[in-house]
Amino acid sequence: MTGGALGSVIAQLFHLTAAERKTLLVAGAAAGMSATFATPISAVLLAVELLLFEWKPRSAIPVALASASAGAARRYILGMGPLFVVPQHAIFIGPQGLAGCVIAGLLAGGLSALLTIGVYAAEDSFMKLPIHWRWWPAMGGLAVGLGGLIFPQALGVGYDTIRTLLQGDAGRGVIAGVLLVKSAIWVISLGSGTSGGVLAPLLMMGAALGGVEATFLPNEGAGFWPLVSMGAILGGTMRAPFTAILFALELTHDINVLLPLLVAAMLAHATTVLLLKRSILTEKVARRGFHLTREYATDPLEILFVREVMRTKLVALPSGATLSDLRNTLVRQPTQRGQHLFPVVDQEGRVKAVVTRRELRKLTESDRPAASLGDVLREPIVAYPDEPLRAVVFRMAESGFTRLPVVDSDSGQLAGMISLHDLLLARVRNLNEERHRERVLRLRLPFGNRANATKT
């Protein structure tokens, strides 16, 4: 938060666009995370998966450079890292260990869902209280203080408790205190609006869950299951599995747990996606009346070209024609009712101008039979067959025109016409590819054919 605020202040000092200010804000947040946890790579992934919602050079490069700079400066101020030193684990854990990772991922997903539900159940409970909302943080702070009296390790950032859990030295009292007391005061704190973080508390609760799992899952070394569950609960709660995996690796420098983390974090992510409509981070935004998409996909208008959807059957008007020549031959023909924009071409078929059906009708109904098309012509804004549809959408939005003639980029000759309706057809094509199911490869067994032939 502090790094993001600093990036926002710097951005507001310069003459920048809203997108550029957002990039600098996110760069500051990534730098803050990199400096705090010594995790420069996962800080960039966090920015992409949770803050930017895009993967473009214009934003990824500044964020990466800011994170790298903060990570390099940290080494002189706070040290090299890793933040949590853990015993080295085996690079291969076998089928039983992988099955345990499946269980750990599902349990972490379940706990992530419970924590998310708990936070917003607490927020709903505070909203029902007959007191002003300004008193809610004080009540949340009171709950935190009471929790600290019961279990003092629940207060603060909890790095020492996380280290104990990752070393495998935590007793049952510590594990129970984190899962019960720390979870409760964290839920109440966030629900009341009291200042509270997300990353460190989730790390602590995930490690505690791993401490429980270590009592019944295969023994893969001290701190193995706390480390796996720590990454899994991050991936499930924040729905940022790649960030969670790399974050756990950079926090511990234990590359051997990469495969277990991949299995557990992805299953935790899948569990929360199936159980909850939104994550703990986007639910609050949705409650404020905003919508955030958390899925990355290629825009179908980016990969489809104009030539694939343009219409080629259309009427073009010769530039030398008079309106009296066009009155009975073009405008009133029933076969041209679907065309609302007419390109005007020269003798070689090059587009010189365009005229709308309405403008043409007004002139043909006037008392100027010898008038020329030049009275209503306007400079054309065109599209090209080999450019993606997304570029055409932007051009339509900038110009305000929803129908554009398509011209050959080399010769300038008329090739077709494209409109908003054609762009919608491109969307329909993409939907059909996602929803229409078909069996492309059919296997015909020899004995099946023999049986059918005998029956016949």
Record the tokens describing residue 366, joined without a space: 């006037």
Read off φ and ψ for residue 223, nearest 5 degrees. 75, 5
Selection from 228, 209, 191 nearest residue 110 by Cα: 209
- pLDDT at position 444, please? 76
- pLDDT at position 117, please? 93
| DSSP string computed for 335-402 | GGTT--EEEEE-TT-BEEEEEEHHHHHHHHTSS-TT-BGGGT-B----B-TTSBHHHHHHHHHHH--S
Record the tokens describing residue 117, joined without a space: 């539900």
Selection from 201, 185, 111 nearest residue 148 by Cα: 185
Residue ranges for the chain with pLDDT beneath 70:
292-295, 321-338, 363-376, 445-456
- pLDDT at position 283, please? 79
CATH architecture for residues 94-287: Orthogonal Bundle (1.10)
Question: Domain extents for the chain?
Answer: 2-77, 94-287, 301-435
Record the tokens describing residue 344, joined without a space: 């005007």
Q: Output the pTM of the full model.
A: 0.79
- pLDDT at position 156, please? 82
The predicted-structure confidence for 57-98, as pLDDT tens digits, reads as follows: 888 999 999 999 999 999 999 888 788 988 888 888 999 999
Q: Report the top-level CATH class of 301-435.
A: alpha beta
Measured distance CA(19)–CA(360) in Å, rounded: 42
Measured distance CA(251)–CA(15) in Å, rounded: 37
- pLDDT at position 334, please? 45
Read off φ and ψ for residue 407, nearest 5 degrees. -125, 150
Distances in whole angstroms, Cα of residue 326 to Cα of each of 160, 365, 367: 86, 11, 14
